[in-house]
Chains A and B, each alone.
Chain A
Amino acid sequence: NAGVTQTPKFRVLKTGQSMTLLCAQDMNHEYMYWYRQDPGMGLRLIHYSVGEGTTAKGEVPDGYNVSRLKKQNFLLGLESAAPSQTSVYFCASSYPGYVGQFFGPGTRLTVL
């Protein structure tokens, strides 16, 4: 099992550009999450999904959109990147009955 994987690992964008981060998991997990990690602030939940075709907002959803068209994939989109979105993005997955989460390796995004 590859577990939770994220693509790309690094990306540099200019303000106003758009991009999509891909999270994939091969554990057949129902739940998937996107977090951002910023210095001194820990991880903050952006969006999450409790199943294929469903998504919900987390603590800091503004400026991001997500889609869960397939159970194994959870996409995070930035339509118009801003410097405030410079961060490390982590994807995680989980399943019913287990309260912990399995994390991906992260994507480091810099917006200039």
Chain B
Amino acid sequence: AQSVSQHNHHVILSEAASLELGCNYSYGGTVNLFWYVQYPGQHLQLLLKYFSGDPLVKGIKGFEAEFIKSKFSFNLRKPSVQWSDTAEYFCAVKGLDTGRRALTFGSGTRLQVQP
């Protein structure tokens, strides 16, 4: 079975600080990986995704993530956060040969950016 771990449950940063949120998954086969963001009071929105190719993927709003296959990781980064990045961030994985069509989500990381 596939699973996703997000070890940082709550992160507090000041504006302009750099961000890295950890995501590790457990699945031995080929995976597609996602980061979703949920701003306060809103629904989940896709931030970025990795399907294949360049392991460094860039998403919206200056976010990027790096897929490191050997570490089963897909960490999210942003060089300089803004107050508007305050949100909850979810990592998700889909194993391509499981037959399972749904995504498996991590427990989420709540990011609070202080002005």
CA distance A33 to B102 in the complex (A): 7
Please determine whether B32 and A99 come into contact, CB atoms closer than 8 angstroms.
Answer: yes
B46 at the A interface (CB under 8 A): yes
Whether, in the assembled complex, B34 has its beta carbon less than 8 Å from a beta carbon of chain A, the answer is yes
Q: Is the pair B43, A40 in contact by a Cβ cutoff of 8 Å?
A: no
Q: Given A99-B96, A100-B49, A105-B42, do A42 and B101 touch, yes or no (CB 8 Å)? A: no
Q: Which of A14-22, A43-51, A63-71, A73-81 contacts B (4 or more CB under 8 A)?
A: A43-51
Q: How many A residues, CB 8 Å from partner?
A: 21
A-B contacts counted at CB < 8 A amount to: 47
User: B103 to chain A: which residues have CB within 8 Å?
Assistant: 43, 99-101
- Check A40 against B9 for contact (C-beta < 8 Å): yes
Does B102 contact A104, Cβ atoms closer than 8 Å? no
Q: How far is the CA of A45 from the CA of B101 in the complex (A)?
A: 11
CB interface residues, B 30-83, toward A, < 8 Å: 32, 34, 36, 42-46, 49, 51
- Which B residues touch A50, using CB under 8 A? 101
Tally of chain B residues near chain A (CB < 8 A):
23
User: Quick check: B51 and A99 within 8 Å, CB to CB?
Assistant: yes
Once the chains bind, are A41 and B32 in contact (CB under 8 Å)?
no
- Nearest residue in A to B43 (C-beta to C-beta)? A105
Interchain nearest-CB distance for A48 vs B (Å) = 6
- For window 62-115 of B, CB contacts with A under 8 Å fall at 90, 94, 96, 101-103, 105-108
Shortest Cβ distance from A101 into chain B, in angstroms?
A: 6
User: A residues within 8 Å of B by Cβ?
Assistant: 31, 33, 35, 40-45, 48, 50, 58, 90, 94, 99-101, 103-106
Hey, which bits of chain B sit against chain A, CB under 8 A?
4, 6, 9, 32, 34, 36, 42-46, 49, 51, 90, 94, 96, 101-103, 105-108
29 residue pairs of the A-B complex, CB under 8 angstroms, read A35-B105, A40-B9, A40-B107, A41-B107, A42-B4, A42-B90, A42-B105, A42-B108, A43-B90, A43-B103, A44-B105, A48-B102, A50-B101, A58-B102, A90-B44, A94-B101, A99-B94, A99-B96, A99-B103, A100-B32, A100-B103, A101-B102, A101-B103, A103-B36, A103-B43, A103-B45, A104-B43, A105-B42, A106-B43
